[in-house]
Amino acid sequence: YEKLYSIVTKPLLLLSGVFYVPSLLPSPFREYMLLNPLTHVVILLREGFYGQSPLDGVDRFYLAEWSACLLFVGMLTFTLIPFARER
């Protein structure tokens, strides 16, 4: 589990725009970055702290959709795991 977690989270962190400002990247790279929900979080946090205007394409509803889907998957996983162990 720890290896899988590391393999998944490190690229997401590097591609989220934490270490650089996504608005300085060329347009094709920005479009791919906006598929990552962490990019939306980082840009919206920068907007709140520094007053920067967000990039075109940053959407709070996209972030809410990802959050709701992942919450549903997590709840489904936790409800199915006890049934799998009892069998």
Q: Can you give the residue range of the structural domain that contains 37? A: 2-86
Tell me the C-alpha distance between 86 and 32, whole Å: 43
* Structural domain count of the chain: 1
The pLDDT tens digits of the residues spanning 1-15 come to: 678 888 888 888 888
Tell me what percent of the residues of the chain surpass a pLDDT of 90: 18
Output the six-digit token pair for 77: 């996983």
pLDDT on residue 86: 59
- Catalogue the E-assigned strands of 1-87: none
The pLDDT tens digits of the residues spanning 43-55 come to: 888 888 888 777 7
The pLDDT tens digits of the residues spanning 66-84 come to: 999 999 999 998 888 776 5
Output the six-digit token pair for 2: 């720890």
* Distance linking the first and last C-alpha atoms of the chain: 23
Q: How confident is the model at residue 18 (pLDDT cuts 50, 70, 90)?
A: confident
